[in-house]
Amino acid sequence: MLVHFFEHGRWGSPVERAIEGQNLTAEDQLFILMQAALYLTATQSLASTEAKICYERAESLCHSLNRPLLLFSTLISQWRYSFVTEKLTATLQIAKRIYSLAQKQNDPAPILGACSALAANHCYLGDDFETARQYALRGVEIWRSGRVQTLIEEMMASPVVCLIYEALSEWYLGEIASSQASIAEAISLAKGLNDMSSLALALYFGGILARFERNPAEVERLASELIELSTRYNFAFWLPGANVLRGWARSAFGNTAEGISWIEHGVKDYRATGSIAGLPMWLALKAEALYVAGRSWEALEATREAEALAERFEVGWWYAELRRLRGVFLAATGADEPQIEASFCEAIRIAREQKAISVEKRAEASYAEYRRQKASAFGGHELRLPLC
- Exposed, middle or buried by CB within 10 Å (0-12, 13-18, 19+), for 178? middle
Q: What is the pLDDT along the chain (388 residues), one digit of tens a residue?
A: 455 455 545 555 554 555 555 678 888 888 888 888 888 887 888 888 888 888 888 888 988 998 888 888 888 888 999 999 999 999 999 999 999 989 988 889 999 999 999 999 999 999 999 999 999 999 999 999 999 877 776 778 999 999 999 999 999 999 999 999 999 999 999 999 999 999 999 999 999 999 999 999 999 999 999 999 999 999 988 999 999 999 999 999 999 999 999 999 999 999 999 999 999 999 999 999 999 999 999 999 999 999 999 999 999 999 999 999 999 999 999 999 999 999 999 999 999 999 999 999 999 999 999 999 998 856 557 899 999 8
d(C-alpha 153, C-alpha 168), whole Å: 24
Beta bridge partners of 23: 17
Helix (H, G, I), strand (E, B) or coil at 60: helix
- Per-residue pLDDT at 51: 87
d(C-alpha 85, C-alpha 82), whole Å: 5
- Exposed, middle or buried by CB within 10 Å (0-12, 13-18, 19+), for 126? buried
d(C-alpha 162, C-alpha 182), whole Å: 9
- Under a CB-based contact definition with an 8 Å cutoff, are residues 88 and 315 in contact? yes
Contacts of 305 (CB under 8 A, 6+ apart): 283
- Per-residue pLDDT at 338: 96
pTM given for the model: 0.90
CB neighbourhood size of 378 (10 A): 5
- Under a CB-based contact definition with an 8 Å cutoff, are residues 245 and 211 in contact? yes
